[in-house]
Amino acid sequence: MPVTHLKRGKPEAERVLEQSRVRELVEATLADIEARGDSAVHELSVKFDGLSRPGFRLTASEIEAATAKVSVRDMADIRFAQQQIRRFAEAQRATMTDVEIETIPGVILGHRNIPVQSVGCYVPGGKFPMVASAHMSVLTAAVAGVPRIIASAPPHGGAPHPAIVAAMHLAGAHEIYVLGGIQAVGAMALGTESIAPVDMLVGPGNAYVAEAKRQLFGRVGIDLFAGPTETLLIADETVDAELCATDLLGQAEHGYNSPAVLVTNSARLARHTLAEVERLLKILPTAETAAASWRDYGEIILCDSYDEMLDVANAIASEHVQVMTDRDDWFLERMHAYGALFLGPRTNVANGDKVIGTNHTLPTRRAGRYTGGLWVGKFLKTHSYQKILTDEAAAEIGAYCSRLCLLEGFVGHAEQANLRVRRYGGRELAYGAAAD
């Protein structure tokens, strides 16, 4: 039986058209920020965030005041989540060791893992205050040892969101700004009169933030293209429709353009999930957003076998992939394109989003084919070095280098090697000739 779509989302051509409109608006906005700096940022803040203030960096007293508004219970929960994320990030950091070896007598090669020197962390907060994004970006950068970490989030209700500010501060942000969207990302990357530019941008965001990061890549580094959230469920008869529908809508509520896909080999589960989604949309408080995503980006794909399910899932390369089958580890061993896996019915994407410890900034739009998600290693640059300790080693390597350079026609390169052969090997060697 061929793969069957019981439900399809919006045609790809319509999605591409939407993306082109976003691209044009972002390009013009970034050019304005680069040309006019703080003036452009202020105008954009008033227009999109409804916030006007002399400067957008929070003072120490503003940070203290915002943090004081967070309840004791909420603060304890934030601390617990950060403890889990820190623990996993530290374990990841421990796997990244500096290396130094002697490859032949007298020749030393090595590498060092060096933190990026300044990072801008974007924390979404327009429709929903994404407190967890502060943990995922700021805290992970701190574990990596980044010496300057700045963080920005849009205002919520006309003011900095207290829990977001508290999470940024606890995670280790050195500068905190109340700016959202393209203006935040553009100001951090390009710099303004009041904001020194960073070397790298990280963090998720809506389609405009993701496109801004794409356009700024090269001017600064980025973690990855983390656009509107995506979720894909691989499920069989071992789970029920309520579980599948709940997990689909739990991610669809992120925004109007959040793909939510069920891949299954059970026609019964597919039909029941379709019905259960409609039932839950009648009682879900965020149904307006979730329903739009499900209508335009929701899919149910019926496959004939587990191998077909695997192939479909790898082709989609979704940001989040939940596996709820009788062979979860089989999928773990064979999946190769995704942001993060959630194995078994006991866990779910929300755990990863908020608290369990893995990072929730993950590749979208099929980027899981070539990159993983944000982790401590993204904030570290692995730089190699070399040194030669003996005259004998300098002459030996130099002779090989001389011949290999001339094999490619690079005489100037060869002379770099030849000069060492003459000086440290004591050999007579004509200019531009190959060493014996």
What residue has token string 């803040």?
Answer: 45
Per-residue pLDDT of the chain (436 residues; tens, 9 = 90+): 578 887 888 787 776 667 789 999 999 999 999 999 999 999 999 999 999 999 999 999 999 999 999 999 999 999 999 999 999 999 999 999 999 999 999 999 999 999 999 999 999 987 788 999 999 999 999 999 999 999 999 999 899 999 999 999 999 999 999 999 999 999 999 999 999 999 999 998 888 999 999 999 999 999 987 778 999 999 999 999 999 999 999 999 988 889 999 999 999 999 999 999 999 999 999 999 999 999 999 999 999 999 999 999 999 999 999 999 999 999 999 999 999 999 999 999 999 999 999 999 999 989 999 999 999 999 999 999 999 999 999 999 999 999 999 999 999 999 999 999 999 999 999 999 999 8
Structure tokens at 202: 């990280």
Dihedrals φ, ψ of 320, to 5°?
-110, 135
Task: Give, as one character, the DSSP assignment of residue 378.
Answer: G
Note the pLDDT of residue 17.
67
CA distance 136 to 435: 54
The beta strands (E) that lie in 105-229 are given as: 107-115, 118-122, 148-153, 175-178, 200-202, 221-222
Q: 229 among the known binding-site residues?
A: yes
In CATH terms, the superfamily for domain 22-223 is Nitrogenase molybdenum iron protein domain (3.40.50.1980)
Please indicate whether the domains covering 22-223 and 228-373 agree at the CATH topology level: yes
Q: 413 among the known binding-site residues?
A: yes
Q: DSSP secondary structure string, 8-72? A: --S-HHHHHHHHHHHHHHHHHHHHHHHHHTHHHHHHHIIIII----S--BPPHHHHHHHHHTS-H
Q: 122 among the known binding-site residues?
A: yes
Structure tokens at 92: 């990841």
> Helices H, strands E: what count in the chain?
17, 14
Q: 247 among the known binding-site residues?
A: no
For 435, the 3-state DSSP assignment is coil
Structure tokens at 381: 């640059």
Do strands 380-388 and 107-115 pair parallel, antiparallel, or not at all (unpaired)?
antiparallel
Task: Give, as one character, the DSSP assignment of residue 139.
Answer: I
pLDDT in tens, 139-184: 999 999 999 999 999 999 899 999 999 999 999 999 999 999 999 9
Dihedrals φ, ψ of 118, to 5°?
-150, 135
Structure tokens at 330: 């089989």
Torsion angle defined by CA atoms of residues 279, 281, 282 and 283, in that order, rounded to the nearest 10 degrees: 100
Domain boundaries of the chain, sorted by first residue: 22-223, 228-373, 390-435
Contact at 8 Å (CB) between 17 and 267? no
Continuous segment of H or E residues that includes residue 7: strand 4-7
Q: 117 among the known binding-site residues?
A: no
Listed as own residue / partner, the contacts of 306-314 with beta carbons closer than 8 Å and 24 or more positions apart are 306/236, 306/265, 306/330, 308/3, 308/265, 309/234, 309/263, 309/264, 309/265, 310/234, 310/334, 310/335, 312/3, 312/263, 313/232, 313/234, 313/263, 313/338, 314/338
Note the pLDDT of residue 362.
94
A 10 A CB-CB count for 185 gives 31
Dihedrals φ, ψ of 247, to 5°?
-75, -30
228-373 is classed CATH 2.40.40.20: no
Contact at 8 Å (CB) between 376 and 144? yes
For 201, the 3-state DSSP assignment is strand
Contact at 8 Å (CB) between 267 and 239? no
CA distance 134 to 152: 9
The closest alpha carbon to 319, from 221, 248, 229, belongs to 229
The closest alpha carbon to 379, from 173, 200, 191, belongs to 200
Contact at 8 Å (CB) between 281 and 290? yes
In the chain, the amino acid numbered 369 is R
Question: Catalytic residue numbers?
Answer: 319-320
Q: Residues 6 or more apart from 86 whose CB is under 8 A from it?
A: 139, 143
Q: 251 among the known binding-site residues?
A: yes
Contact at 8 Å (CB) between 357 and 84? yes
Note the pLDDT of residue 16.
67
Q: 161 among the known binding-site residues?
A: no
CA angle, corner 339, sides to 174 and 348, nearest 5?
A: 95
The closest alpha carbon to 118, from 91, 94, 145, belongs to 145
Note the pLDDT of residue 239.
98
Signed CA dihedral, 19, 24, 25, 26: sign only = positive
Q: DSSP secondary structure string, 173-195? A: -SEEEE--HHHHHHHHHH--SSS
In the chain, the amino acid numbered 284 is L
Task: Give, as one character, the DSSP assignment of residue 256.
Answer: T
